[in-house]
């Protein structure tokens, strides 16, 4: 039966604004989702997971979408099974014994449904917690990079936001990143706090909103040049050798944290894909190679949250001292 329920205005506008992305997600499972759910998940991908339209349409969010589809399918199966079980139980005016087998099945089905709800609730809370950690990390790093009493400082803008400009006179409102300045801000924050270097790199990458890999590779180049040109006594000198491509850096830090093992086939696969990427660029890679990069980047984002939780107190304390609190 067709759903004749009228869509709310905000849903209609979201459908209009995100038409290509919504259509792409729907193509993965055409009959499963309502318009409201498609819009809700599109907003989650873009606002919470920080995927751009281009990244979603190029398949970088496919793992997330697949997980979303599986969770929705599990929820649908649970509901459908409960409905079928209810149909099997005839309505009687007098008490009769219920089959022990049916009773056990009914309990298991109810528990399964409750488990799914609990898992979704826990997952939702976890996403919100992780999002808050990333947001706080960005704010505190931004404060350490900016001068007190400036707009950037007072509004706690992250490093990327501080160095993002609209091209003057461009009718399309083209966005430009000042990549050399972003590198200098990272150095400013980490020169006296080298232990924050990894956190700054990851935070910067995930705050870039377009051409992330290409822009971050250029930032890494600027970092290396400036670090090598700094004092030989600088604690960042040891970081220069890892400032190659962002994917090299991500692989290196994931190895150190045992998120990837040298002995695994995954490691060799990632190495091969990074080598291809350096030659042909991201857009020329096939879907399997792009998926390999997506998995590595997802691990890096998980590491950003882990490092954020480990270092958030230190960051907050340093930012507070900068404010004179």
pLDDT in tens, the chain (325 residues): 334 444 444 445 555 567 788 888 888 776 666 777 777 777 777 776 778 888 888 888 887 777 777 766 666 565 555 445 444 444 444 444 545 555 455 455 555 555 444 444 444 455 667 888 888 899 999 999 888 888 888 888 899 999 988 765 555 557 788 999 999 999 999 888 889 999 999 999 999 988 899 999 999 888 888 888 877 777 787 777 766 789 999 999 999 999 999 888 889 999 999 999 998 999 999 999 999 999 999 999 999 999 999 998 888 888 877 555 5
269 contacts 277 by C-beta, under 8 angstroms = no
219 contacts 178 by C-beta, under 8 angstroms = no
Residues whose CB is less than 8 angstroms from the CB of residue 320 and which lie 6 or more positions away in sequence, other chains included: none
pLDDT confidence of residue 125: 52
Q: What angle do CA 305, 243, 166 make, to 5 degrees?
A: 75
Answer yes or no: pTM beyond 0.85. Answer: no
pLDDT confidence of residue 300: 92
CA distance 51 to 63: 12
The domain segmentation of the chain, as residue ranges, is 2-85, 122-322
pLDDT confidence of residue 73: 66
pLDDT confidence of residue 294: 93
pLDDT confidence of residue 7: 40
C-alpha dist (Å) from residue 122 to 115, 116, 129, 132, 134:
10, 10, 10, 15, 18
pLDDT confidence of residue 272: 94
- Residue ranges of alpha helices (H) inside 177-245 are 179-190, 197-207, 212-229
pLDDT confidence of residue 79: 55
pLDDT confidence of residue 179: 92
Query: Residue for token digits 């507070």?
Result: 320
Q: How far is CA 87 from the centre of its chain?
A: 42
Helix (H), strand (E) counts: the chain: 14, 2
């Amino acid at each position: 039966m067709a759903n004749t329920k009228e869509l709310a205005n905000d849903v209609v506008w979201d459908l209009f604004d995100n038409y290509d992305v919504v259509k792409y997600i729907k193509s993965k499972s055409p009959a499963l989702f309502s318009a409201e759910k498609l819009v809700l998940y599109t907003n989650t991908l873009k606002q919470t997971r920080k995927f751009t339209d281009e990244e979603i349409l190029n398949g970088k969010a496919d793992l997330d979408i697949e997980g979303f589809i599986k969770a929705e399918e599990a929820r649908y199966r649970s509901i459908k099974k409960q409905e079928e079980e209810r149909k099997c139980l005839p309505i009687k005016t007098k008490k009769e014994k219920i089959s022990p087998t049916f009773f056990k099945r009914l309990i298991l089905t109810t528990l399964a449904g409750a488990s799914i709800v609990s898992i979704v609730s826990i997952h939702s809370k976890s996403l919100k917690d992780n999002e808050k950690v990333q947001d706080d990390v960005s704010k505190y790093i931004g404060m350490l990079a900016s001068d007190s009493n400036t707009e950037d400082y007072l509004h706690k803008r992250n490093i990327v936001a501080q160095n993002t400009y609209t091209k003057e006179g461009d009718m399309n409102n083209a966005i430009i990143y000042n990549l050399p300045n972003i590198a200098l801000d990272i150095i400013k924050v980490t020169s006296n706090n080298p232990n924050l270097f990894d956190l700054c790199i990851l935070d910067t990458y995930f705050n870039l909103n377009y051409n992330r890999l290409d822009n971050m590779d250029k930032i890494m180049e600027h970092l290396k040049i400036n670090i090598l040109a700094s004092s030989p006594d600088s604690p960042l000198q040891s970081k220069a050798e890892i400032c190659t491509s962002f994917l090299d850096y991500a692989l290196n830090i994931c190895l150190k944290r045992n998120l990837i093992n040298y002995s695994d086939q995954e490691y060799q696969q990632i190495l091969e894909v990074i080598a291809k990427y350096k030659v042909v660029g991201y857009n020329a890679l096939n879907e399997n190679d792009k998926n390999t990069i997506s998995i590595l980047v997802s691990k890096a984002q998980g590491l950003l949250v882990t490092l954020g939780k480990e270092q958030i107190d230190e960051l907050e304390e340093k930012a507070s001292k900068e404010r004179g609190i």
